[in-house]
Amino acid sequence: MKVIIVEDEKPSARRLQRMLSELNIEALAMLHSVKEAVDWFKNNEHPDLILLDIQLSDGLSFEIFEQVTVNSAIIFTTAYDEYALKAFKLNSIDYLLKPIDDEELETAINKFTVNQPVKHDLLVDINQIKKLLINPLDKSYKKRFTIKIGQHLRVVDTEDIECFYSEQKATYAYTVERKNYLMDFSLEQLEDELDPSKFFKVNRKFIVNISAINDIISYTNSRLQIKLNNFSDLEIIVSREKVKEFRKWLE
């Protein structure tokens, strides 16, 4: 079995190496950063299995897979708490919470052996996992936006925005005062800046504020239509693939 360790803390990497050795497995390499890992994967035959730390010295390890395609199976090693661990199940053989226990490592290795030769595509859910790695209690979200209007600047509180929407390659904010403001952000950028407990991206064109929802109506093809307190310029439809997640968000 060909295994590599990607871990930025060298003592932890050496400990993992010793633990693998006790299982009669030799680690081919120990890598300590995103850059080092990317370079290694570009120039070496990929292993069967990667023991992968989440937080490396120069960024999240998921950035590796944004730069190079890796088909190896993954066992995540992480110090992150329970709130993020559900994400790891999507794309990995297993996850191990630090400090790693000998028996847990052996169980994870055995799980990999049983599942061979299944390969895992990490590209599918990278963005979702990265978002889940940010503890909502720790992240600071935008409380206001400074919007340029001609030669003037207008400060708009986030809570006063009913929705953000895109139209003709531009992004707008619509406020409780029934005013539209052209934004310098894309909807994707805004989604990362907004409190997910208050704002939800219902489809490719709309992010809505939960406090602005006036009515929710069953729509064709198992979709939902949203009526906001003031906004009525365009129809707001929750896309079918978002309905389940939207209902859960409302709870």
Q: What is the dihedral sign for C-alpha 234, 239, 244, 246?
A: negative
H/E run at residue 147: strand 144-149
103's CB contacts (< 8 A; 6+ apart) are none
Does residue 139 carry a pLDDT above 80? Answer: no
Summarize pLDDT for 90-118 with one digit per residue, the tens: 456 677 777 788 888 998 898 888 766 54
The whole-angstrom separation of Cα 100 and Cα 168 is 51
Summarize pLDDT for 208-226 with one digit per residue, the tens: 999 999 999 999 989 999 9
Report strand pairing: 170-175 vs 161-167: antiparallel
Give me the chain's average pLDDT, please.
85
- 3-state DSSP call for residue 47? coil
Does residue 123 carry a pLDDT above 70? Answer: no
CATH number of 144-250: 2.40.50.1020
**What's 3-132's CATH class?**
alpha beta
The residues spanned by each domain of the chain are: 3-132, 144-250
Cis peptide before 11 (omega within 30 of 0): no
Single pTM value for the model: 0.50
Summarize pLDDT for 11-27 with one digit per residue, the tens: 889 999 999 999 999 99
Given a contact cutoff of 8 angstroms between Cβ atoms, the answer to whether 67 and 38 are in contact is: yes
Given a contact cutoff of 8 angstroms between Cβ atoms, the answer to whether 5 and 30 are in contact is: yes
Q: What pLDDT does 41 receive?
A: 93
